[in-house]
Amino acid sequence: MGTRTPDRVAVVTGGSRGIGRATALRLAADGMAVVVNYRSDAAAANQVAADIEAGGGRAAATRADVAEPGELRDLLDTAERRYGGLDVLVHNAGGYVRGPLAEATDDDYARAFALNARATFHVLREAGRRMRDGGRIVFVSTAATLLTPPAQALYAAGKVAGEHLVRTFAREIGTRGITVNSVLPGPTETEGFAASEAPVDLLVAQTPLGRLGRPEDIAEVIGFLASDAARWITGKNIVADGGLS
């Protein structure tokens, strides 16, 4: 969409691969300094930062498990120390927990909510304390919260909890000009989706636009929500699934 937002500072959690990587590149192309967060794949995150810098942008790769409050604070400290503040936070980090509900363990339940709900709570709380007025927060959820596919009950439930936190937080923080929204991607060509063994042919056949999503498709939506052009949109679930739902 070409909306330039120079002098802004963005943090992208889960920014080393897939949708997170595409988002980091998109925000950098819009002129933002980008902190690329990762939990385990340092090489991939460093490559994203290197690609941004090779294009004339500003970026740093920083490790943190955002489900841990102390590590999240360290991550945001990096953004403030290195670039002077926090204006955009894209919370893309999460995790898949799959399997029939009747076979799920208590540990499966705890992990699904730790990865997808508790981490979102921590991110929103910390962003509310640090983000400069007029900022943007985007939570990457999933269209599975609408489609209720088998074997994804815990994963989707954790994401739904995150969506509710987003909608409420948008009301609480709106007077500061900060917008808070969720993006709900459908099936997207990422490593995580490839590992899920989802029925690709069936999903493509059911999608009006006739293909799987690409990370760049989702990054364009996130980039818009992170821009000044989206200043009048907050507390919303934005579905980006090619019409599948």
CA atoms 32, 14, 181, 129: torsion sign: negative
180 three-state secondary structure:
strand
How far apart are the C-alpha atoms of 218 and 183, rounded to whole Å?
8
Written in H, E and C, the secondary structure of 83-97 is HCCCCEEEECCCCCC
45 three-state secondary structure:
helix
Q: CB atoms < 10 A from the CB of 112, how many?
A: 26
> Token digits for 204?
């493509």
208-212: list long-range contacts, CB under 8 Å, 24+ apart: 208/242, 208/243, 208/244, 209/242, 209/243, 210/242, 211/242, 212/186, 212/187, 212/188, 212/242
96 is catalytic: no
Instruction: Determine the pLDDT at residue 148.
Output: 86
Please tell me the pTM assigned to this model.
Answer: 0.95
Q: Are 60 and 91 in contact (CB under 8 A)?
A: no
Q: What are phi and psi of 55, to 5 degrees?
A: -90, 10
How far apart are the C-alpha atoms of 25 and 58, rounded to whole Å?
11
Instruction: Determine the pLDDT at residue 191.
Output: 78
What are the structural domains of the chain?
Answer: 9-240 (3.40.50.720)
105 three-state secondary structure:
coil
Instruction: Determine the pLDDT at residue 4.
Output: 65
Q: Are 183 and 94 in contact (CB under 8 A)?
A: no
> Token digits for 151?
């074997």
**Conformational region of residue 10, where left means phi above 0, alpha means psi within -120 to 50, and beta covers everything else:** beta
How far apart are the C-alpha atoms of 81 and 126, rounded to whole Å?
16
Q: Tell me the pLDDT of the chain (245 aa) as tens digits.
A: 446 666 899 999 999 999 999 999 999 999 999 999 999 999 999 999 999 999 999 999 999 999 999 999 999 999 999 999 999 999 999 988 999 999 999 999 999 999 999 999 999 999 999 999 999 999 999 999 999 889 999 999 999 999 999 999 999 999 999 999 999 999 998 877 766 667 888 999 999 999 999 999 999 999 999 999 999 999 999 999 999 99
